[in-house]
Amino acid sequence: MYIKLFCTVFLIFFALRSHAATFIPVKVTDQVRDSDLVISGVPIGKTFKKIPTGEVVTEYTFKLNEIVGIEHSKIVNRNNFKVLVPGGKWQGVSYKVSGVPTFKEGTNSIVLLRKGKFGYYLTNLAMSSFSKSTTKNDDRIFSEVFRTQKDVGNIKIKRFNEILISKWGSPLQKIEEDKFVKVPHVKKSKGYNKDSRKRTPASFEHIEEKEKKSSFWLLFFIAFSGIVAGFLRRSKS
């Protein structure tokens, strides 16, 4: 009986250990070094998808407020920035992955990301997701793990920005507007009047003027020839 109980407890303990994420503390400095960009934004939705490797992921949509590590002009839509997190639901089956962050819609998060083949991923799962805490005397960010460990899951905003500047030369910067396509201004042709339905090409006006001048000289020549012919007839008679 005791042997069976021991085996049952051991199996339960082993199962829990196998499904729990074991994080090794990594300093924010090292996480930033391994990241391709850092965003500050609000998750506004999520969906599930299966990427070409067969892995099921949760695709979070963020509304970006600040970013560093990528040119703002490359952000097509600040309200539709995608972040991929392993695990999710697919065809009625749940794929759970321990250690992923719990993004809350409407709550701003600061996230360290790396660029993968199919999109942007968290650099170190939940350890790379931070929330901001502002007080009168201190502004800090805290990760979902190691919240009490300084420079790992607990760091001052000022120090965090210094780390960003050391890598990218800039702290997090606000995104003022979305990317847009500039439509060139088309100048009106001089040969067209304001009403496009009654436009007359300038070349046609020039030809018409030439024709008027030619007609005048032709009539003048005919009239002059008639006068000369009449004068000659009278001279002969």
Read off the pLDDT band of 200 (50, 70, 90).
Answer: very low
Q: 173's torsion region: left (phi>0), alpha (psi -120 to 50) or beta?
A: beta
- Mind listing the pLDDT tens digit for each residue in 124-140? 999 999 999 887 788 99
40 Cβ contact partners less than 8 Å away, ≥ 6 residues apart: 64, 65, 66, 67, 108, 109, 110, 111, 172
24-174 maps to CATH 1.10.3470:
no
What pLDDT shows up at residue 233?
A: 61
pLDDT at 175 over 50: yes
Two tokens, residue 152: 């790992």
Dist CA 80 CA 50 (whole Å): 19
Residue 20 pLDDT more than 90?
no
Domain boundaries, the chain: 24-174
pTM value is 0.66
- Check whether 10 has a pLDDT greater than 70: no
Average per-residue pLDDT in the chain? 78
